[in-house]
Structures are given as C-alpha cells and as structure tokens.
C-alpha cells in the first residue's frame, strides 16, 4: 500500500514548512510583529516615575481633571517585591477558631437558602445552619492545622510592592500629557521623566 505525502501537511518532528494541526481553538496563527510574543497595543512613553503609588495616582487624576483621555494611560509598578507580613502565631486552637468563623459564614449561607423554602420556623433553620457550620468549620480547621505537622505555625498576609511607579501614555498623546503635567505641583518633587 502506498501513501501520498503532502508536503504542506503537518508532520511530527519536522521543523519548518507545513502547517500545524488544528486544535480545540482552531488553526493556530503565525505570530505577528517581530515574533517576540503577542502585541500589547500601541507604543507607550513614560511621562514620569514616582517613588510611591499615591504620587502616580495624583498625576493620572490631574490628567483626568484636565480632560485628558486617561484610558490611554497606565500606572506600571517596576521592581516588584513580594512581602509576607507575619501576623501572629497559629496554634491548633486558633486554627479551630478561624475555621469556626469560616464555617459559620458558610452555615449561615446554607441556612438562609433552606430558610427561604421553610414553611415553619425559618429563624431556627438559619441558626441551625450557623451552629452546624461553625462546629464543622472548627473541626476541619483544627484537623487541617494538625496535619501540617507544625511546618507553618504562623498566619501571614502577602502583598506585592513596587520600588517605583511609572506613568505611561500612548506615544501620540505624550506631548499633551507632558504639557498638563508641567502645570501640576508635586509638592517640590518634579517627576523623573524618561528619555
């Protein structure tokens, strides 16, 4: 039995030439632009760099107050750092308490759903859901903490922080933005403009 080979058909292990097989989203398209990924929109220009977010926000607010098309701006945080602030020690009792609070909210929600369709005492149904949810939440919270084996005996909150915030605008409106920015009093701090 002979098979015809189609030189434009996709062939596994063959680079170049041919087309890729279609997937669930259809046929993949060749990358556009310079081939370094998807295009992100029109080119942008940095009109100022600020040490904190409120200063960058004040600039965009000033532009908005002066009828600048702020939908063509962005605040870009650079040099991001993940900061995890430790809030306190986590014991099994505290884990059970946190679990009870979460379970109580879930039980309240379920109790409200069942209470809507109850003909009799709907308040009792809501309270029963609240109590049962709190008990099961406490049990699951304590068991989950005990199963970690003491590897994470603290609670924390994570946040991303940037060392600098740049305000960027589309290149074709950059001059207009710079003119408006020149009128803004930044409390003695001139924005650091990029060249």
Rounded to whole angstroms, how far apart are CA atoms 185 and 12?
Answer: 62
Q: pLDDT by residue (tens digit) across 75-114?
A: 999 888 999 999 888 888 999 999 999 999 999 999 999 8
Closest by alpha carbon to 114, among 133, 135, 101, 128? 128
The pair phi, psi for residue 159, each rounded to 5°, is -150, 150
Identify the band that residue 188 occupies on the pLDDT scale cut at 50, 70 and 90.
Answer: very low
Identify the band that residue 181 occupies on the pLDDT scale cut at 50, 70 and 90.
Answer: confident
Report, as an integer, the average pLDDT of 144-164: 87
Rounded to whole angstroms, how far apart are CA atoms 191 and 177?
Answer: 13
Rg (CA), the chain: 29
Average pLDDT for the chain = 80
pLDDT given at position 90: 87
Check residues 57 and 187 and name the one with the higher pLDDT.
Answer: 57
pLDDT given at position 54: 93
Report, as an integer, the average pLDDT of 9-32: 53
First to last CA, the chain: 68
- Angle of helix 53-65 relative to helix 174-182, nearest 10 degrees, comes to 100
Identify the band that residue 190 occupies on the pLDDT scale cut at 50, 70 and 90.
Answer: very low
Report, as an integer, the average pLDDT of 16-23: 52
pLDDT given at position 140: 95
pLDDT given at position 195: 44
Report, as an integer, the average pLDDT of 157-161: 90
Q: pLDDT by residue (tens digit) across 22-76?
A: 555 555 555 555 555 455 678 889 999 999 999 999 999 999 999 899 999 999 9
């Amino acid at each position: 039995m002979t098979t015809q080979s189609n030189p434009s058909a996709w062939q596994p292990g063959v680079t170049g030439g041919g087309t890729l097989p279609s997937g669930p989203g259809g046929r993949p398209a060749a990358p556009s632009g310079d081939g370094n990924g998807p295009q992100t929109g029109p080119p942008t220009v940095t009109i100022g760099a600020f040490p904190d977010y409120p200063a960058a926000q004040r600039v965009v607010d000033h532009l908005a107050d002066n009828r600048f098309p702020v939908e063509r701006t962005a605040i870009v945080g650079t040099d991001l750092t993940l900061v995890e602030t430790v809030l306190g020690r986590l014991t099994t009792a505290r884990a059970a308490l946190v679990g009870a609070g979460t379970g109580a909210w879930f039980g309240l929600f379920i109790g409200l759903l069942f209470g809507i369709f109850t003909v009799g005492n709907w308040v009792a149904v809501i309270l029963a859901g609240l109590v049962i949810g709190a008990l099961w939440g406490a049990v699951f919270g304590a068991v989950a903490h005990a199963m970690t084996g003491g590897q994470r005996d603290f609670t924390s909150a994570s946040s991303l922080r940037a060392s600098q915030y740049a305000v960027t605008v589309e290149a074709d409106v950059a001059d207009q933005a710079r003119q408006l920015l020149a009128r803004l009093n930044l409390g003695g701090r001139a924005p650091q403009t990029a060249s």
